[in-house]
Amino acid sequence: MTAYTIAELQAEGRSPEILFWVGCAGSFDARAQKV
């Protein structure tokens, strides 16, 4: 499976069929901030 960035798709004039957003909740987790 090939995963493209939004910028790559837009450069080709395409849009994604599916957008997988992993989120940023880890930045608020004290355990993750130590990594």
Residue 9: predicted pLDDT = 94
Does the pTM surpass 0.85? The reply is no
Q: What pLDDT is stored for residue 28 in this prediction? A: 78
Residue 3 amino acid letter: A
CA dist., res. 26 & res. 30, Å (int) = 8
Give the pLDDT confidence score for residue 10 in this predicted structure.
Answer: 95
**CB-CB contact of 33 with 27 (8 Å):** yes
Specify whether the CB–CB gap between 6 and 16 falls below 8 A: yes
Q: What is the pLDDT of residues 1-35, one digit of tens each?
A: 888 889 999 999 999 888 887 777 777 778 877 76
Distance in angstroms (rounded) separating the CA atoms of residues 17 and 3: 11
Which residue ranges make up each domain of the chain? 1-35
Evaluate whether 19 touches 26 at the Cβ level (below 8 Å): no
Q: Do 15 and 9 meet the contact criterion of CB atoms below 8 Å apart? A: yes
Query: What pLDDT does 2 receive?
Result: 86
